Amino acid sequence: SGINAEYGDYKTVAIQTEEHRTEEHQKVWIQPVPRSFHSLLQNDPVEFITTENELQEYIVVRYTLSGEGRTDVRGFGMRCQDVDTNQWSYYIGGCTVGNYNTQFLNNVPRDKVKHWIVTKTSTHLKVVCNNVTVLNFDFAADYSPGFEEGHQIWLRRCTALKFQTYCEKLLLRNSI
């Protein structure tokens, strides 16, 4: 299963989240292969657990967004910028400056084990860490200067969803 003894704290968090099942599909925790893409159900939140602040290792969610006769791919990325201060930066493709260390998540809990949930709605991208909302990005209002038009793409319906990480110690919630 990808959860093993060296990740002791993961296992506890993973077991505590088992109530998130639906009749349509069952979700399990997997250890994703770093740098590979993992397809997820497009309408589900992206859920993962980190056990360490792995310095500057990327976590990326790629959304295929369709509407108005067009399909575009846009990404949300995040990474730990500073292990000591627990500072995490992010970018939202087409809405913010495309590099890290520019925009930062707010009030990320200092817990070693972090349970993250990333949810895209038609108007917002929300990131919750250990039940604390660390980002609630309004596509129509929170974009960076120079990105006035880019947010329109994020308002579209998500038709495909992929997850990629460079982290070695991460678990991803995946449907089976």
Going by pLDDT thresholds of 50, 70 and 90, the confidence category of residue 5 is very low
Distance, CA of 173 to CA of 104 (rounded, Å): 24
Q: Would you list the DSSP string of 48-59?
A: EEESS--BT--E
Contact, 43 vs 151, CB < 8 A? no
Residue with tokens 């292990």: 83
Read off the pLDDT of residues 84-132 as tens digits, 9 standing for 90 and up. 888 999 999 999 987 787 899 999 999 999 999 999 999 999 999 999 9
Q: Is 88 helix (H, G, I), strand (E, B) or coil?
A: strand
Distances (CA, A) of 25 to 22, 91, 106, 161: 6, 31, 33, 16
Both tokens of 78, joined, read: 């995040």
Going by pLDDT thresholds of 50, 70 and 90, the confidence category of residue 150 is confident
- 8-29: average pLDDT: 57
Q: Which of 131, 149, 152 is nearest to 47 (CA)?
A: 131
Q: What is the pLDDT of residue 8?
A: 47
Q: Which of 67, 71, 62, 50 is nearest to 7 (CA)?
A: 50
